[in-house]
Structure 1
Amino acid sequence: MKKRYRIKKDKDFRLVFKKGKSYANRQFVVYVINHPDITHLRLGISVSKKLGNAVKRNQIKRRIRSFFRENQEQLSKKEYVVISRKPVSDMDYHQMEKSLLHVLKIARCIK
């Protein structure tokens, strides 16, 4: 994912947590904030150390990034922060994809 599509700075994460709206299911919590001047979506990912070692956490992050890259055209142009919960560590990509689609439909972010 290109740098302009990422949320990396702590102040940007805090802004989304503070002013954004959260949606959740058993596997993910997604914070969404809408900026009228934004021309593309931005994504921040948080995976806790409780989910596994560095290899497992990076695998989860790669899968989440891949989902957003594949579905970029369908998603609204907003800022997203995705937080993974414990059941994600045992899921394969297709299960994660289904779960993320479910949360984003709840959030009404899919066109």
Structure 2
Amino acid sequence: MKKKYRIKKNEEFQQVFQEGKSMANRQFVVYVLDRPEQPYFRLGLSVSKKIGKAVVRNKVKRYIRQAFLELREQVTPGKDYVVIARMPTSEMNYAEVKKSLQHVLKKAGVLLNQPNRVD
């Protein structure tokens, strides 16, 4: 993910936490902050040490980034997203992480219409 699509600074995280809306399921908490002047969405990740050691935390972060990359056509642009991973994510595979993220984003109302699948 390119640098302009990431949230890295503490002040930016705090702004999303304080001014944004949150939605959660068992695996993730997602904070969403409207940024109408921004033509793209930005993503911030928070995976605490409770999840596991560095290898596990980095794996979870890679899974989340990849899921957002695959869902980028459906995710509403012009918003900042902060995703906080909860404990069960350390044992999940990529497909489960993506499905859970889709669920919480749909719950938050930020997923655009699903593309029509041709079976």
TM range (shorter): over 0.9
SS at match of 2:32: strand
Q: Distance in 2 between matches of 1:86 and 1:35?
A: 30
Q: Which amino acid counterpart does residue 91 of structure 1 have in structure 2?
A: M
Q: CA deviation at 1:81?
A: 0.1
| Amino acid corresponding to residue 10 of structure 1 in structure 2 | N
1:73-110 deviations in Å (ceiling 9; x for gaps): 11001110000000000100001111000000000101
| Structure 2 counterpart of 1:30 | 30
Measure how far apart 1:9 and its partner are. Answer: 0.2
Indicate whether 1:107 and 2:88 are aligned.
no
Of all paired residues, the percent bearing the same amino acid is: 57
Q: What is the number of residues matched between the two proteins? A: 111
| TM-score, normalised relative to structure 1 | 0.99
Report the equivalent of 2:71.
Answer: 71
Deviation at 1:45, TM superposition (A): 0.2
Provide TM-score, normalisation by structure 2: 0.92
For residues 31-68 of structure 1, what are the alpha-carbon distances to aligned partners after superposition, in whole Å with 9 as ceiling and x for unaligned?
Answer: 00111101101000000101111000000000000011
1:3-18 pair list within 5 angstroms: 3-18=3-18
Structure 1 segments (4+ residues) deviating >2 Å: none
